[in-house]
Chains A and B, each alone.
Chain A
Amino acid sequence: MTNTLTRLLQTRDWLLADGATGTNLFNMGLSSGEPPELWNVDHPDRIAKLYSFAVDAGSDLFLTNSFGGNASRLKLHNAQGRVRELNRVAAEIGREVADKAGRPVAVCGSVGPTGDIFAPMGTLTHELAVEMFHEQAEGLKEGGADVLWVETISAPEEFKAAAEAAKLAGMDWCGTMSFDTAGRTMMGVTSAQLASLVEKLPNPPLAFGANCGVGAADLMRTIMGFVSSGTERPIIAKGNAGIPKYHDGHIHYDGTPALMGDYACLARDAGATIIGGCCGTMPEHLKAMHEALSTRERGPRPTLEDVTEKLGAFSSNTDGTGDDPGPSRERRGRRRG
């Protein structure tokens, strides 16, 4: 049997994903330092409400509250023994909300990074990473997640390990990286490199793309990088609602619902299929995005100039793709080619 997400992708030319998890949970009283995953068991009503925010705003899919639900992250709270349980419950609550929606809504099991650095510099090995992701995947599967949703990854090794875990769990998956450093991921991966990496995997994702990162404008540039790589795989765009600003002791994201509506349509026009938000994206942003995607005609493929005009400037001059690979250093290069 195919999963809900696959069926949605076959019948629709755009899908609305969800918005922020953290920002919404903090508004519901999560205190910082507390791992959100514990709320799956301690406050299931609030997690159901979080999922409902997305469903009520018109989202076709939402991510489960399991981003930090791997053994390495949970260990920071001495909860590494609860991986299976916390992930299963995250998906179970999601299943219940999705099944009551009255329309097909996919429950996507969120899998975030381990936070560890790969050997030789760090402690993480491929085997360890696969084991951790697999443990999490089995919990999400048991709870009824339709697919795995690997997100905010920066190392290609970690992306591959998550793909292998999805295979071991026998689940379809989607995967996104966070491009937050001069248009690349922290580990230097470009949009073109991710597009090429996914095709080399033995079990490529249903869809791939970018989430989080800097602002909506940078995220759009990354999406356009995927498109110009010639990929035919559905592309995911999940950008932050602008950039966080500090005002008189509190913080807010500067992206308005109207701006996020523009961003959603630009992302669709650029070639993205699954469009959502990330940090700072509240229900009102999602509603504006749904409204914009439902009512506005498709436009021509935007140029980089269109993006900066509507969404603001990029954080760096280049993103390491295209004819201008960005700055480089002349090397004596006697030891290495």
Chain B
Amino acid sequence: MADEDDIILSELDDEELVQQMHDDLYDGLKEEIEEAVNILVERGWTPYDILTKALVAGMTVVGNDFRDGILFVPEVLLAANAMKGGMAILKPMLVETGAPRMGKMVIGTVKGDIHDIGKNLVAMMMEGAGFEVVDIGINNPVENYLEALEREEADILGMSALLTTTMPYMKVVIDTMKEKGIRDNYLVLVGGAPLNEEFGKAIGADAYCRDAAISVEIAKDMIARKHNQMGA
């Protein structure tokens, strides 16, 4: 209804504004998110606080509802798009202020696998949650992954496979990383329809991610733990 559109973001106090941003992320309203980010910047919020308290916190709600079957892919993609709008404003400021990075992920489907829609969804949602994502596409041999991880100074490796015939290749990649002594430098997340937790463990991944929302949750959790360890 018309009168319901009459929210003036700049008239809301900080707490209400952040609440409204969570709602607007949920509804995938990109322009409103961009406007609100700019307002918080003007009010002197640090870019890192805007990122974590307003955007990432809002996307967590979206992720939880996706996991619980309340939201589906189209809504989540719109939310991620709105988040990206806010991120584009914050990114240069985050670099300038030396704020802690969320983390960088290299992602691609494994050699022999050309099914990329799941991988694309994870990439979009990871970006939506504030991670940097380097998408190396489909059909990647082990060398592609290793080269990209080194070049990008990534924190996370994401591998995807839709076929039962290609999922064992994930083990080849992890085994090669072990041989080269670099396995523990990265979080290794695996996903794809035929996989399960047992398989993830069996091949030595850090986690199996059932869907894109869970990938984000696991990545956030594990990166936070890694930062804590480094600080300790």
A residues neighboring B (CB under 8 Å) = 22, 26, 31-33, 35, 73, 76-77, 115, 117, 120-122, 154-155, 180-182, 184, 186-188, 244, 246, 249-251, 316, 318, 320, 326-329, 331-337
Contact of B124 with A121 in the complex, beta carbons under 8 Å: yes
Flag whether B164 is at the interface (Cβ < 8 A): yes
Contact of B69 with A182 in the complex, beta carbons under 8 Å: yes
Complex CA gap A77/B29 in Å reads: 37
Contact of B24 with A251 in the complex, beta carbons under 8 Å: no
Complex CA gap A320/B73 in Å reads: 15
Say which residue of B24, B163, B202 sits within 8 Å of A32 (CB atoms). B163
List 11 A-B residue pairs with CB atoms under 8 Å apart, sorted by A's residue number: A26-B165, A32-B113, A32-B163, A73-B114, A182-B69, A186-B72, A186-B73, A187-B72, A188-B71, A251-B164, A329-B65
Enumerate B109-156 residues with CB–CB distance to A below 8 Å.
Answer: 111-117, 120, 124, 138-139
Binds A, one of B49-57, B179-187, B191-199, B221-229: B191-199
Instruction: Scan B50-91; emit 1 where CB is below 8 A from any A CB, else 0.
Output: 000000000000000100111111110110010000000000
Contact of B72 with A188 in the complex, beta carbons under 8 Å: yes
Which residue of chain A has its CB nearest to the CB of B23?
A: A332
Residue in B5, B24, B193 with the greatest tally of chain A CB atoms within 10 Å: B193
Contact of A246 with B202 in the complex, beta carbons under 8 Å: yes
Say which residue of A22, A184, A187, A334 sits within 8 Å of B7 (CB atoms). A334
Which residue of chain A has its CB nearest to the CB of B193?
A: A180
Closest beta carbon of chain B to A210's beta carbon, Å: 16
Contact of B4 with A334 in the complex, beta carbons under 8 Å: yes
Say which residue of B27, B139, B167 sits within 8 Å of A251 (CB atoms). B167
How many residues from B make CB contacts under 8 Å with A? 48
Which residue of chain A has its CB nearest to the CB of B1?
A: A337
Closest beta carbon of chain B to A273's beta carbon, Å: 28
Enumerate B1-52 residues with CB–CB distance to A below 8 Å.
Answer: 1, 4-5, 7, 19-20, 23-24, 26-27, 29, 32
Closest beta carbon of chain B to A308's beta carbon, Å: 19
Which residue of chain B has its CB nearest to the CB of A178?
A: B193
Which residue of chain A has its CB nearest to the CB of B26?
A: A331
Complex CA gap A306/B2 in Å reads: 50
Which residue of chain B has its CB nearest to the CB of A213?
A: B193
Contact of A187 with B113 in the complex, beta carbons under 8 Å: no
Which residue of chain A has its CB nearest to the CB of B203?
A: A246
Flag whether B168 is at the interface (Cβ < 8 A): yes
Complex CA gap A244/B193 in Å reads: 9
